[in-house]
Amino acid sequence: MLQDIANLFHGFAVVAQPFNFLLMVVGIVLGVIVGVLPGLGGANGIAILLPLTFSMSPTSAIIMLSCIYWGALFGGAITSILFNIPGEPWSVATTFDGYPMGQKGKAGEALTAAFTSSFVGALFAVIVITLVAPLVANFALRFGPPEIFSVYFLAFCSFVGLSKEPPFKTIASMMLGFGLGAVGLDQVTGQLRMTFGFPEMLNGFDFLIAVIGLFGIGEILLTMEEGLSFRGTAAKLNPKVVFQTWKILPKFWLLSLRSCLIGCWMGISPAGATPASFMSYGIAKRISKRGHLFGTGEIEGVVAPETAAHAAGTSALLPMISLGVPGSPTAAVLLGGLLIWGLQPGPLLFVEQKDFVWGLIASMYMGNIVGLLIVLTCVPLFASILKIPFSVIAPIIMVFCAIGAYTVHNNTFDVVMMVVFGIAGYFMKKTNYPLAPMVLAIVLGDKAEEAFRQSLLASQGSLSVFWSNGLVSTIMTLGLIALFWSQIQSGWNRLRAAHKGLRPAE
Residues 34-63 that bind other proteins (CB under 8 A): 34, 37, 39-40, 43-45, 47-51, 54-55
Q: Which of 27, 35, 204, 437 binds other proteins (CB under 8 A)?
A: 204
Nearer to other proteins, 454 or 493 (CB): 454
Query: Least CB distance from residue 421 to other proteins, whole Å?
Result: 12
Q: Which of 134, 166, 239, 491 binds other proteins (CB under 8 A)?
A: 166
351-390 residues in contact with other proteins (CB under 8 A) are 389-390
Work out whether 396 is an interface residue with other proteins (CB under 8 A): yes
434-493 residues in contact with other proteins (CB under 8 A) are 449-450, 452-458, 460-461
DSSP label at residue 484: T
Q: Which of 349, 362, 386, 443 binds other proteins (CB under 8 A)?
A: 349
Which of these, 3, 6, 12, 15, lies nearest to 62 by C-alpha position? 15
Nearer to other proteins, 45 or 301 (CB): 45
Work out whether 79 is an interface residue with other proteins (CB under 8 A): no
Work out whether 335 is an interface residue with other proteins (CB under 8 A): yes
Query: Least CB distance from residue 226 to other proteins, whole Å?
Result: 8
Alpha-carbon gap, residue 367 to 64, rounded angstroms: 9
275-304 residues in contact with other proteins (CB under 8 A) are none
Q: Name the strand (E) or helix (H) holding 255.
A: helix 253-268
C-alpha neighbours within 13 Å on the C-beta side of residue 438: 26
Q: Which stretch binds other proteins (CB under 8 A): 86-94, 318-326, 367-375, 477-485?
A: 318-326
91-130 residues in contact with other proteins (CB under 8 A) are none
Work out whether 26 is an interface residue with other proteins (CB under 8 A): no
CA 38 to chain centre: 15
Burial class (CB in 10 A: 0-12, 13-18, 19+), 240: exposed
Q: Dihedrals φ, ψ of 204, to 5°?
A: 75, -170
* Residues 6 or more apart whose Cβ sits within 8 Å of residue 45: 30, 31, 34, 35, 68, 72
Q: Dihedrals φ, ψ of 84, to 5°?
A: 65, 20
Q: Which of 8, 127, 132, 185 binds other proteins (CB under 8 A)?
A: 185
**In 136-162, which positions are buried (b, 16+ CB within 10 angstroms) versus exposed (e)?**
bbebbeebbbbbbbbbbbbbbbbbbbe
Nearer to other proteins, 108 or 146 (CB): 146
Work out whether 161 is an interface residue with other proteins (CB under 8 A): no
Nearer to other proteins, 395 or 491 (CB): 395
Alpha-carbon gap, residue 34 to 41, rounded angstroms: 6
